[in-house]
Amino acid sequence: MKVYFVFGTKAELIKVAGILRELHRRKVPYSLIHTGQHARVEEELKTFELPMPHYRITRRKENLKTVTEMTFWLLRCFFNAMGSNVPRRGDLVLVHGDTESTLLASVIAKLKGCKLAHIEGGLRSWDITNPFPEEAVRRFTDTFSDYIFVPNEWAASNLKKTKNKAEIINTHLNTSYDSLKYILSMKPKIDIPDGKYAVVLFHRKENLYVKDNLNRAIRIIREIVKKHKTLFIVAKNSEHVLRNAGFYDELANNKNVIFKDYYDFKDFVHLVNGAEFIATDGGSLQEETYLLNRPILLLRKKTERVEGLGETACLTKLDYKKAMHFLDNYKNFKRNRKMSEKKPSEIVCDKIEEIIR
């Protein structure tokens, strides 16, 4: 039985980096398969001293920007992967989270007769449309997985509610914990800004392409940039939507706003760790800011995670008053629970070694 980790995005790779490093330490062979969803992942691989992908299903020069591009890319990936000889029947395929690559790899693994292990499974918003398509991807992947690694007991209980038949393994913390510890031991390549600053990221499909959500989020972001020096990290799809809404130019003319491209993970972690607070509609940052003990404003209606809620994280539900309460009191949003001392990557690797014996 061979072990494959199939990934498409930088976030997936980052969150399992500790697992891959631990497999290497234990001399457990594995292969990386990159779908090409994110065009360039080499910097993250170098940061964690991981090998380049052994197999690439597609190669891209730029990240996917539109739904049409995503659709054609998925079809191309599917046919390329089904026509290859990796993975093969009986192999163990590891996938992570809730991306389009997660869905793709899960379908391919089951069609090829492989064992499927889902890392960071069990998370639920219980609303199939929010976040979309992430909630649907998680439910599908969990349904067809043979092994599901969950970050906490809440995620395990979600699977038990649906009578999931997979073997459930609780890692007690998100696997990003090991990646963060590794990164914080390194020095950043960038200069961290002087003085106080906030970090804003905004990119989710249900916010960008649902007009009411977009308008609500913009109203909140306006208040952030009025009072705080703000590093606004903009993806290409976000920039396109914000320009069409006339908001990008408004931000560009605000002296408090500094537009930034995406950082590599090492620099980004140090940037977040030095910020007064973070405002985002992303999911991973909810977990990472909890581990870093940094305040975070969640620009979304629902979350499929529990980390930080009532402590470091404020879920706005895109409600203006909730957001204003956070902005007036963000220094009070701190972690008040002791974290587990277990190393999640070691728990995952223990199980992988058991499976492949």
Q: Concatenated DSSP letters for 137-157?
A: HHHHHHHH-SEEEESSHHHHH
pLDDT under 50 in the chain at which residues?
Answer: none
Q: What is the pLDDT of residue 187?
A: 85
Fold for 3-173+342-356, please state it.
Answer: Rossmann fold (3.40.50)
Q: How far apart are CA 322 and CA 316, in angstroms?
A: 5
* Residue whose tokens read 């001293």: 49
Both tokens assigned to 326: 């956070």
**How many angstroms separate the first and last alpha carbons of the chain?**
8
**Long-range CB contacts (< 8 A, 24+ apart) of 39-44?**
39/63, 41/7, 41/10, 41/13, 43/264, 44/10, 44/13, 44/14, 44/17, 44/264, 44/265
Report CA Rg, the chain: 20
Q: What is the residue extent of each domain of the chain?
A: 3-173+342-356, 198-332
Q: What is the pLDDT of residue 126?
A: 93
Helices 100-111 and 67-82: crossing angle in degrees, nearest 10, is 20
Both tokens assigned to 75: 């079809």
**Long-range CB contacts (< 8 A, 24+ apart) of 283-290?**
283/98, 283/131, 283/134, 284/11, 284/15, 284/176, 285/201, 286/313, 287/151, 287/174, 287/176, 288/176, 288/180, 289/313, 290/335
Both tokens assigned to 31: 């292969």
The CATH number of 198-332, from 3.30.70.270, 3.40.50.720, 3.40.50.300, 3.40.50.2000, is 3.40.50.2000
- Alpha carbon of residue 196 to chain centroid: 26
